[in-house]
Amino acid sequence: MKDSVILTKEELLQHWLGHRTLTKRTLEKFPEKELFEFSIGGMRPFSELVMELLSIAEPGLRGIVQKDEKPYDHDLGLNSKAALLARWDEDTPKIISLYNQIPEEDFHKEHNLFGEYKFPIYSNLLYFIDNEIHHRAQGYVYLRALGIEPPFFWDRY
């Protein structure tokens, strides 16, 4: 069977970065207090969801590149919207650099992400993106419940 390419490695990265841009815009819309306190139906506040995203994307890529299975740690101690945004911005160039260090031919090799999720690297990368979309959608629900219009979901650039 012949392999066909749906997306190039660069196109996948740009897709992910578009989602990161949109998630950052979602974070920017939150009032400080509600970012850390507001929740619905027992879900975590958006600040905790963002810290989860921060604790898996760059550290997960670093683990893939360094072939390390170190567990994740969601307790980042970021106590303000400014700190979350600063960390988001600090991680983006690291994500780009680490992603670019993964040889394309390795995308189908297995990696035991955080010592818990043994899947091909491409599946781990898709998990990073899927998890971000999932948590951003929770943030959209929170913003709407607070009477704040979230960014257009399709405007990722």
Residue 4 has pLDDT above 70, yes or no: yes
Which helix (H) or strand (E) segment holds residue 110: the answer is strand 110-113
What are 134-144's pLDDT values in tens digits? 999 999 999 99
Between 65 and 5, the more confident residue is 65
Burial class for 79, CB neighbours closer than 10 Å (0-12, 13-18, 19+):
exposed
Backbone dihedral angles phi then psi of residue 145, each to the nearest 5 degrees: -65, -30
Least confident of 16-30, 43-57, 64-78, 140-154: 64-78
- Mean pLDDT, the chain, as a whole number? 95
